[in-house]
């Protein structure tokens, strides 16, 4: 049964588990979304990618090439990234207080500097509100892609080196 699960489906399962972990961390444990303390979410991500690549390694008997390993990992982490970007978008749309707190903190910092006019601070706050959601989604997208590539490259390299020995 486990051999029939595709890398993309493993990505769906991994992404769903990551979203559940994010919800538990944020709403249950009060750990801020996208913080270092949400280590469990990144651990699930890594396990999902490694699971996909190791399963590929075991299921295929032909000569193993880096490209084939990378494709297996890519199919998993791209689905996870898509799900996490959607979650990030919905999360920040629902929790606008996070954006407002971030904008307010920035305005307070500008006020303390003492070299900004009130109209300038208000305009800056308006601009920050308008770019907050695309910025957070973009950061999350980039972060997930980079982490996915790194985990895939390291896992694929390790498995290839094991076959050469």
DSSP result, 1-34:
-GGG--HHHHHHHHHHHHHHHHHIIIIIS-PPTT
Is 2 a member of any domain?
no
pLDDT at 61 exceeding the cut of 70: no
Inside any domain, residue 23: yes
Range of the domain at 91: 7-164
Query: Cα–Cα distance between 53 and 156 in angstroms, integer?
Result: 7
pLDDT one-digit tens code per residue, 7-54? 899 999 999 999 999 999 888 888 877 677 678 889 999 999 999 999
Inside any domain, residue 20: yes
Give a yes or no: residue 22 inside a domain.
yes
pTM attached to this predicted model: 0.85
Q: Could you give the number of structural domains in the chain?
A: 1
The residue-averaged pLDDT of 65-85 equals: 94
Q: Is residue 91 part of a domain?
A: yes
Residue 17 falls inside a structural domain = yes
Domain assignment of residue 112, yes or no: yes
Q: How far apart are the first and last CA of the chain?
A: 30
Residue 1 resides in a domain = no
């Amino acid at each position: 049964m486990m051999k029939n699960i595709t890398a993309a489906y493993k990505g769906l399962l991994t992404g769903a588990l990551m979203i559940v972990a994010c919800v538990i961390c944020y709403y249950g444990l009060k750990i801020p979304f996208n913080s270092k303390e949400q280590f469990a979410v990144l651990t699930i991500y890594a396990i999902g990618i490694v699971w996909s690549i190791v399963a590929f390694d075991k299921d295929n008997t032909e000569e193993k090439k880096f490209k084939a390993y990378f494709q297996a990992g890519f199919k998993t982490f791209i689905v996870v990234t898509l799900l996490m970007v959607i979650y990030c978008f919905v999360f920040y749309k629902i929790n606008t207080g996070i954006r407002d707190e971030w904008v307010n903190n920035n305005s307070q910092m500008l006020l303390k500097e003492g070299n900004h006019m009130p109209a300038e601070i208000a305009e800056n706050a308006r601009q920050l509100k308008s770019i907050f959601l695309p910025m957070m989604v973009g950061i999350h997208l980039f972060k997930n892609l980079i982490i996915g590539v790194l985990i895939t490259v390291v896992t694929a390299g390790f498995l290839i080196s094991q076959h050469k020995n």
